[in-house]
Amino acid sequence: MMFKVPRGTKDLLPEETGKWQAVESLIRETCRLYRYEEIRTPIFEQTELFTRSVGDTTDIVQKEMYTFEDRGGRSLTLRPEGTAPVVRAFVEHKMFGSPDQPVKLYYMGQMFRYERQQAGRYRQFVQFGVEAIGSASPAIDAEVISLAMDVYQRAGLKDLKLVINSLGDKESREAHREALIRHFEPSIGEFCSDCQNRLQKNPLRILDCKVDREHPLMDSAPALTDYLNDGSAAYFGEVKKSLDALGIDYVVDPNLVRGLDYYNHTAFEIMSTSDGFGAITTLCGGGRYNGLSEDIGGPEAPGIGFAMSIERFLMALEAEGKMPETESRLDAFIVALDEESRKEAVKILGNLRREGIAADMDYMDRKMKAQMKAADRQKAGFVIVIGEDELKNGAAGVKNMADGTQETVEFGRLAETLKSRS
C-alpha cells in the first residue's frame, strides 16, 4: 500500500524548512525587541475552552474543529487557534499576579481546522501570535499592531495594507445587534441556513459569512462605528492617535468583523496588496478581547493579540520576490580513499564537529571523483583528502574549494587550520 500525506496537510522538505527557519528567527528577534516572551501550550485542550471562548455560532466551532473523546470519556479538541489556550495558561498559572503587567507573550505552533484546502490554507497549519494581557490601554493595541507590521517589514515586504475597525464595548454591540436584526430579518429567507440560525443568536456573524458575502444587504448593513457609545468612540480615537504617532498607515473599514466571538473594541487585519499573491489577501488578523479571562474562570484581565499564518507569510515573500536565502554551510568534506582511511576520517570528522566546524564525509563507498563531486554539490569550503600516504604521514591534503589552493596539514591541526582559513 502506498501511503500519502493526509489531505489538508503538507510535508516540509529540507529545501523548504530553511525558509521557515529564517522566518521563525526573524519573528523571535522581533519579539525580543518588543519584550514578548515565548509560551508553549498543548496541541489539544478541553473542548469547552473553545466553545465558550471562540463562540458556538462561529464556523470554527460549528464546522471546523477536530474534536474527539479520549479513553477517559473526556471531550478534547485539537487547538484551532492560539488565544484561548494562552489565556487559559495565564489564568491557570496565575500570571495576573506578576508585578510586570501587561504579561506579553508569543507562541508559534500547529493549529488544526477542518476546511477546504486552498492556497496558503491547510487543515494543519502554523500560526505565530502574540498576546498582551492585563492592560486596557489603547497604546498597547497600537504596540501589538506595530509588532505585526514590523515582522512583515523587517522581512522586506512592502505591499501591505492595514485595516482597522472598532467592535465597541458590550453596550455598543447590543445597540448594533438590534440594528442588524432589523436590517436582515425581512429578507433572512434569502440567506443560507447558517445566517438564518445566527440572526437572533449573533447577527454580527452574518457579516462574516462566506456564502452570502455578495448579497446586496451586506453592503448596506448598519456599520458598528455608527453605534459606538462615547467611551468606545474615544477608545478607538486613542488607538488611531497611537498608530499615527508610530507612523503606521491604516484604513478604517466599518465592515471588518473578526471571526471569533471574544473580540471587542479594536479589530484589525493586515493584507497583501501584491499582484502575485492570490485571491485571499489576509495575512494576519487580531483584536482586543476584554472579558475572555473572566469567561474561562479567571479575573478581569483585558487583552489584545493577533495571529499570522506562516504559510501565508511565505506566500507573500514569494509574491514580492523577498524569499530568504537559505544555503546551508558546509565547512569541510572528507574524501577517504580506502577502508583504513575511512576509519581515520570518522575520527577526524568527530573532532572537527566538536570544534564547531560543519563537516561531512562519504558513506556510500564511492570513488574519489564521485566524492569530489559530492563535496562540490554540497558547496564545501574545504576538501580533506585521506589515503594510504596520508595515513603514513599523519597529515591530510586540504584543498580550498574557493581558490583551488592546496596544502598538507597534520591530522591534529586540521581544526585549527580550517578555522584560521575561514
Query: How many of the other CB atoms lie within 10 Å of CB of 243?
Result: 21
Q: How many residues does the chain have?
A: 422
Whether the bond into 85 is cis, omega within 30 of 0: no
Quick count: other Cβ atoms within 10 Å of Cβ 217?
A: 15
Residue 45: pLDDT band (50, 70, 90) is very high
DSSP output for 298-341: -----EEEEEEEHHHHHHHHHHTT-PPP-PPPEEEEEEE-SHHH
Sheet of strand 124-133, all strands in order from the earlier edge strand to the far edge: 37-38, 103-112, 124-133, 303-309, 282-288, 264-272, 160-166, 251-252
At 345, list the grid cell.
576520517
* 55 pLDDT more than 90: no
- Mean pLDDT for 272-294 is 88
Q: What is the pTM of this model?
A: 0.89
Is residue 117 over pLDDT 80? no
How many CB atoms are located within 10 Å of the residue 194 CB?
Answer: 17
pLDDT tens digits, 144-174: 999 999 999 999 999 999 999 999 988 888 8
> Tell me: the pLDDT tens digits for 4-37?
999 999 999 998 999 999 999 999 999 999 999 9
Joined together, the cell numbers standing for residue 23 give 522566518
pLDDT above 90: residue 212: no
Cell numbers placing 265:
473594541
Q: Which residues contact 56 (CB under 8 A, 6 or more apart)?
A: 62
Distance CA(353)–CA(333), nearest Å, equals 12
